[in-house]
Amino acid sequence: MKYSNSLAFAKKADREDPLRDYRNRFYIPSLNKKPAIYLIGNSLGLQPKTTKKYIQQELDDWAALGGEGHVHAKRPWVKYHHFAKKTLAAVVGAKTSEVVAMNHLTINLHLLMVSFYIPTSERYKIIAEAGAFSSDQYAFETQIRFHGLNPDTTLIELKPREEEYTLRTEDVLKTIEEHGRETALVLLGGVQYYTGQFFDIKAITAASHQVGALAAFDLAHAVGNVPLNLHKDEVDFAVWCSYKYLNSGPGAIAGAFVHEKHSNNENLPRFAGWWGQLEEERFQMKKGFRPMPGIDGWQVSNVPVFQGAAHLASLEIFQEAGIKALRKKSIALTSYLEFILKELDPLENTIKIITPNNPDERGCQLSLFMKQNGKKIFTQLKKHGVIADWREPNVIRIAPVPLYNTFEEVFRFGEIIKKFL
């Protein structure tokens, strides 16, 4: 697509967009009594208009059926974790037996690290990003201490080269090779929250396995954003939240993946609960934990149905739109944003885009490193109807989401920000 920094081009691109009608499936927030230019789907996705209907169905069934809703509701509550599987599997590139919606992201990370981070005197290190999202850092630190180890000598943190902002795949692979004999687990984000870099999951997983380590990913900023092939890439486990690109609401139910090569290994250590027990025995209240096959055996508690309903409302839209079509629009929309910003500030006097310029190495987020007046410009954006995202010390994150953002919004964002450059 040949881009033009003009309203006529943006409107034409929107008319030709096969996904254009999906915007009408979401509520758009307002600023200054006008629809906002909402560019923080990487932080909290918008509410589908069907969410209320999905939740209302559960309220109606609760009112009418009480406890009988567990088996007689329209979507029986006792089976609720099954309903999201098909679409989640398609979104992350997995088998339905390998994915489940459960808990929250960091809880899932802890639960799966119990099973897959089993340090020995020879193999005990974790390789992760320096500056990983804080909850991941806390999980790594406390898991390491739980095993009586020192994070300072156990956690190997990957840092960009001097005067660079993102990690080179070659450097990641080199670090894995250098520490291979001592490494138990390589655990990175799928998409780095600060820079927006999409890591080479396939190459990193293969390199980890080559040295005898396991490979896992926090997909908080990747799920629903970039194409994933967790099963084919042989990722050992992954976790994600669903309130960002999966539009399932604040504090929404999260998700997890365990590859089938592990998921039926009953000898793996795990912290068990009654919802992971074999379904046919769950209500027999017997002693002795027997896990359900697949990832379902890692469930601890029953599904929070209202959160699950909101999740299903969004997943219905993903099932219709398809991740391939969403990815195609995402590349075009994000590239258009990049085109406009580089045209406005070609010498990078104020804005440096620190997200990779290769579309294969990013999702729909661009991180703008503000060389001057960053916080002031961020404040002005909101006054002019733009909802953006600030990350200390000096980055504005912009995420044009293909389900509900438009080329015209990207153009208008450019018109607004150029006033302050």
Write out pLDDT tens, residues 66-119: 999 999 999 999 999 999 999 999 999 999 999 999 999 999 999 999 999 999
Joined together, the tokens standing for residue 297 give 């055996």
Residues 228/200, Cβ–Cβ less than 8 Å: no
At 402, the pLDDT band (50, 70, 90 cuts) reads very high
* Cβ neighbours of residue 103 closer than 8 Å, sequence gap 6 or more: 111, 253, 254, 256, 300, 301
Q: What is the pLDDT of residue 235?
A: 98
Residues 350/421, Cβ–Cβ less than 8 Å: yes
At 354, the pLDDT band (50, 70, 90 cuts) reads very high
Q: What is the pLDDT of residue 78?
A: 96
Parallel/antiparallel/unpaired status of strands 155-158 and 351-353 = unpaired
Distance in angstroms (rounded) separating the CA atoms of residues 354 and 165: 6
Alpha-carbon distance values, 130 to 109, 145, 170, 312, 388 (Å) = 18, 18, 16, 34, 25
Q: Is the pLDDT of residue 23 over 90?
A: yes
Distance in angstroms (rounded) separating the CA atoms of residues 255 and 47: 19
Q: Please give the domain boundaries of the chain with CATH numbers for all domains.
A: 7-47+323-420 (3.90.1150.10), 56-319 (3.40.640.10)
Mean pLDDT of the chain: 97
Q: What is the pLDDT of residue 264?
A: 86
| Number of helices and strands in the chain (H, E) | 14, 15
For residue 417, the tally of other CB atoms under 10 A from its CB is 25
At 344, the pLDDT band (50, 70, 90 cuts) reads very high
Look-up of token digits 């104020």: 350
Distance in angstroms (rounded) separating the CA atoms of residues 178 and 75: 51
At 32, the pLDDT band (50, 70, 90 cuts) reads confident
At 409, the pLDDT band (50, 70, 90 cuts) reads very high
- Residue type at 328? K
What is the separation of C-alpha 372 from the centre of its chain, rounded to a whole number of angstroms? 30
Q: What is the pLDDT of residue 286?
A: 87
One DSSP character per residue, 120-184 reads: -SSS-EEEEETT--HHHHHHHHHHHHHTT--HHHHEEEE-PPTT--S--HHHHHHHHHHTGGGEE
- Give CA torsion, residues 256, 259, 265, 268, to 10 deg: -50
One DSSP character per residue, 383-412 reads: HTTEE-EEETTTEEEEB--TTT--HHHHHH
- Give CA torsion, residues 33, 37, 38, 42, to 10 deg: -160
Q: What is the pTM of this model?
A: 0.96
Look-up of token digits 């001057």: 372
Report the SS3 class of residue 415: helix
Cβ density class 110-120: b for 16+ within 10 Å, e for less: bbbbbbbbebe
Q: What is the pLDDT of residue 115?
A: 97
pLDDT (mean) for 281-307: 94
pLDDT (mean) for 216-240: 98
pLDDT (mean) for 126-153: 96
What is the separation of C-alpha 306 from the centre of its chain, rounded to a whole number of angstroms? 21
Parallel/antiparallel/unpaired status of strands 34-35 and 30-31 = antiparallel
Distance in angstroms (rounded) separating the CA atoms of residues 363 and 225: 6
Torsion over CA: 155, 161, 163, 165 (sign): negative
pLDDT (mean) for 42-50: 98
* Cβ neighbours of residue 407 closer than 8 Å, sequence gap 6 or more: 9, 10, 11, 13, 14, 17, 333, 336
Q: What is the pLDDT of residue 175?
A: 98
Q: Is the pLDDT of residue 245 over 90?
A: yes
Parallel/antiparallel/unpaired status of strands 386-387 and 37-38 = parallel
At 371, the pLDDT band (50, 70, 90 cuts) reads very high
Distance in angstroms (rounded) separating the CA atoms of residues 417 and 231: 42
At 421, the pLDDT band (50, 70, 90 cuts) reads confident
Residues 291/281, Cβ–Cβ less than 8 Å: no
Over residues 184-216, the pLDDT tens digits come to 999 999 999 999 999 999 999 999 999 999 999
Name the DSSP letter for residue 27.
Answer: P
At 308, the pLDDT band (50, 70, 90 cuts) reads very high
Residues 21/402, Cβ–Cβ less than 8 Å: no
Q: What is the pLDDT of residue 266?
A: 83
Residues 344/411, Cβ–Cβ less than 8 Å: no
Where residue 258 falls (left for φ over 0; alpha for ψ -120 to 50; beta otherwise) is beta
Q: What is the pLDDT of residue 1?
A: 78
pLDDT (mean) for 308-325: 98
Q: What is the pLDDT of residue 290?
A: 92
